[in-house]
Amino acid sequence: MQQPNQRGFRQAQGASPLAIRTKKSQLDSNTYVRMALTEVWKKEWWYALIPLVIVLLPAIFVFSWWWVVAAVVVTVLFVVLRSAQVQALAQMEQTKALFERVNYEIDQRQILMRLNDKQGMNIPWEMVEKVRQQDGAYQLYLKAPANAEMPTGWKGWVARTFTVPMFLYLPTRIFNSPNDLKLFESMLRRKNLLAAETKPAA
């Protein structure tokens, strides 16, 4: 059995001869943290209101500025800890492969992140949950671990509730030709990861 090295790469398996091959690309971990934090707080901003409201409740009955100060401190701590969770993921040994300088070989079976001629990391399409198309790039979001792979008890609840988005970031400039980019988009549509192209009305 092929064993991965410390950064998740293992002996590269061959891609299809018809695979789309890209130029080298690297997602900086700081850029990832900034993008992930933006997504997390756009979706979860209201989570920060929960500790704020709970700690302020006693102030309704017996007002004191100490309750206000405590509520603000607890809320700030929550925001800091949640943000630190996102930053920590980028520093984990298991995720460092996502921030290496690699080129991609993409076919119907998998996305191969190739570090060099001998090492790569295979990501089956089944691991891709959704794709977001934006100006000049595609974000391929990876599925979270299944519940069976999560820890049990309160740790499992925290892991399921406070997830961190993991994604591959593929700028359109890394594709070697417009035809490769069209083939990639067509592949995404066939896998229902990208909305079907709408044709203009005649």
Cα–Cα distance between 57 and 63 in angstroms, integer? 9
Q: So what's the pLDDT on residue 3? A: 35
Residue 31 has pLDDT above 70, yes or no: yes
pLDDT, greater one: 184 or 89: 184
Cα–Cα distance between 8 and 183 in angstroms, integer? 28
pLDDT, greater one: 98 or 37: 37
Residue 63 has pLDDT above 80, yes or no: yes
Provide mean pLDDT across the span 69-98. 89
pLDDT for 119-169, tens place per residue? 888 999 999 999 999 889 999 999 876 655 555 666 656 666 678 889 999
- When the pLDDT of each residue in the chain is averaged and rounded to a whole number, the result is 83
Residue 70 has pLDDT above 90, yes or no: yes
Distance of CA 62 to the CA centre of its chain: 45
Percentage of the chain beyond pLDDT 90 is 51
Q: Which two tokens stand for residue 152?
A: 């049990």
